[in-house]
């Protein structure tokens, strides 16, 4: 991987983000109805609407509105939330940290569970263990989050027998046990589909690698089966799995909106729903832009990881 490649890749991410700012801005600008009227509701007297339009710069031509917003974004100023009367950057920043903690936990959970599961399934191909894991993963990918979430709530958070709280949030830097008890159910809900998906992916990659010439060669060199599987086969199955995980980030970002709402997790997903319901334009814009940035960067990161895992991959 050359410095030139990294530079060009980052440049293209920047280009994507510029396009996203257009899209985000256009969507909020072309939403039907006058935003000022929507916000003011029953208080929408012509004077009040005119005053709010001025405050929101809605009276300016679109390119002036756009450049004003973008220059603010570049300086870290996303404007003021219309409903919360707080700077958007503060509101979104806090929600982002909370969401990142949840998504990160889910992702770690997925990685440390799904990859070994996939490897085990591939090694015991055609046997009972493989079948059980297949059933698990088909169920995992067939059930939507709100169903798994409900099931988990009934089993683990019922009023009398529950061992986990049904919702809410404690930051890990406030109380580690409190954080864990709150994060388990949403993280598992979020991770289940991905676990199913990624373990299947690792299984199919791994079974292909297990029947490859170099694995046969490794066995015929007199290496133990343990070494053949963990040292020769698994590392060769990981790079494609990482590519799938990076595509799943998009799914994760969508899933977070549902899961946060169900478990009352104060993150970006909840904030986005709140902002949409209340026509809080600056917040909607900021959250959308942020999610796009996360997605672009995580794809970039996965390319870097793949290049590290597979020495043949050379970006130039």
Partner 1 sequence: MSATHVNTHPPVKDKAVPFDAKAPRLAIRNYSLSYATSNGPVKALNNINLEIAPGETHGLVGESGSGKSSMAWSIMRYLPDNAIEKHGAIRLAGQELLEMSPRQMIDIRGQRISMVFQDPSTSLNPTMRIGDQITEVLMAHRGLTKAQARAEAEAALARTGITRPKEMLSRYPHEASGGEKQRVVIATAFACEPELIIFDEPTTALDILTARQILDLFNRLREETHVSALYISHDLGLVSRIADQVSVLHHGDLVEHGPVDEVFNNPQDSYTRRLISAVPHPDRWLGVKKPETKEPLLSLDAVSVRYSPLSFKEKVLKIKPDESEIFWGAKDVSLSVRPGELLGIVGESGSGKSTIAKALTGLNDFTGKVKFGDIEVNGRKQISRDYRRKVQIVFQHPDASLNPRQTIGTILSRPLHLYDVVPSDQIKDRIRELLELVRLPTEYADRYPHQLSGGEKQRVAIARAFAAEPDLVICDEVTAALDVSVQASVTELLVNLQKDTGTACIFITHDLNLIRQIAHRIAVMQHGKLVDLFDRDDADAADRHSYTRALLDAVPVQVSLGVNETEHENV
Query: Which residues in this chain contact partner 1 in the complex, by CB under 8 A?
Result: 212-214, 216-224, 227, 231-232, 235-236, 309-312
Q: What CA–CA distances, in Å, run from 203 to 126, 135, 245? A: 12, 14, 14
**Residue 295, number of CB atoms within 10 A of its CB:** 18
Smaller CB distance to partner 1: residue 30 or 220?
220
d(CA 114, CA 277) in angstroms, rounded, equals: 36
- To partner 1, the closest distance from the beta carbon of 216 in angstroms equals 7
- To partner 1, the closest distance from the beta carbon of 230 in angstroms equals 12
Q: Is 246 left (phi over 0), alpha (psi -120 to 50) or beta?
A: alpha
Smaller CB distance to partner 1: residue 159 or 311?
311
- Is residue 312 within 8 Å of 236, Cβ to Cβ? no
- To partner 1, the closest distance from the beta carbon of 221 in angstroms equals 4
Q: Which two tokens stand for residue 86?
A: 């707080």
Smaller CB distance to partner 1: residue 215 or 259?
215
Smaller CB distance to partner 1: residue 2 or 45?
2
Identify which of 50, 106, 156 has the alpha carbon closest to the alpha carbon of residue 258.
106
Return phi, psi of residue 87, to 5°.
-60, 135
- To partner 1, the closest distance from the beta carbon of 69 in angstroms equals 32
d(CA 27, CA 311) in angstroms, rounded, equals: 43
- To partner 1, the closest distance from the beta carbon of 59 in angstroms equals 42
Smaller CB distance to partner 1: residue 58 or 307?
307
Smaller CB distance to partner 1: residue 30 or 316?
316
Smaller CB distance to partner 1: residue 54 or 227?
227
- To partner 1, the closest distance from the beta carbon of 312 in angstroms equals 5
d(CA 234, CA 237) in angstroms, rounded, equals: 5
- To partner 1, the closest distance from the beta carbon of 304 in angstroms equals 16
Residues 6+ apart with CB under 8 A from 141: 193, 196, 197, 200
Return phi, psi of residue 56, to 5°.
-85, 5
- To partner 1, the closest distance from the beta carbon of 6 in angstroms equals 19
Identify which of 306, 215, 282, 247 has the alpha carbon closest to the alpha carbon of residue 28.
282
Q: What CA–CA distances, in Å, run from 22 to 13, 65, 76? A: 14, 11, 17
Smaller CB distance to partner 1: residue 193 or 215?
215
């Amino acid at each position: 991987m050359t410095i030139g490649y990294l530079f060009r890749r980052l440049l293209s991410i920047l280009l994507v983000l510029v396009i996203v700012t257009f899209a985000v801005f256009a969507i909020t600008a072309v939403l039907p109805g006058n935003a000022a009227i929507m916000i003011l509701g029953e208080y929408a007297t012509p004077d009040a609407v005119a005053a709010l339009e001025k405050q929101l710069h809605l009276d300016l031509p679109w390119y002036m509105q756009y450049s004003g917003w973008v220059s603010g974004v570049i300086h870290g100023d996303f404007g003021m939330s219309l409903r919360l009367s707080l700077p958007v950057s503060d509101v979104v920043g806090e929600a982002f940290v909370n969401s990142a903690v949840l998504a990160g936990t889910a992702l770690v959970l997925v990685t440390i569970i799904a990859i070994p599961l996939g490897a085990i399934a591939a090694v015991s191909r055609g046997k009972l263990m493989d079948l059980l894991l297949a059933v698990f993963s088909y169920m995992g990918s067939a059930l939507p989050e709100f169903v798994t979430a409900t099931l988990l709530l009934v089993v683990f958070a019922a009023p009398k027998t529950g061992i986990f709280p049904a919702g809410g949030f404690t930051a890990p830097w406030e109380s580690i046990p409190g954080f864990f008890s709150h994060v388990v159910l949403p993280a598992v809900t979020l991770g289940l589909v991905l676990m199913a998906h990624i373990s299947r992916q690792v299984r199919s990659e791994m079974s292909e690698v297990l029947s490859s010439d170099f694995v046969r060669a490794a066995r015929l060199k007199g290496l133990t089966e343990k070494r053949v599987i963990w040292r020769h086969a698994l590392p060769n199955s990981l790079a494609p799995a990482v590519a799938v995980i990076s595509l799943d980030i998009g799914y994760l970002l969508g899933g977070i909106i549902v899961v946060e709402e169900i478990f009352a997790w104060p993150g970006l997903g909840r904030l986005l729903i709140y902002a949409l319901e209340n026509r809080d334009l600056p917040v909607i814009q900021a959250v959308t832009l942020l999610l796009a940035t996360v997605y672009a960067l995580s794809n970039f990161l996965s390319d870097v990881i793949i290049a590290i895992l597979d020495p043949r991959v050379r970006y130039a």
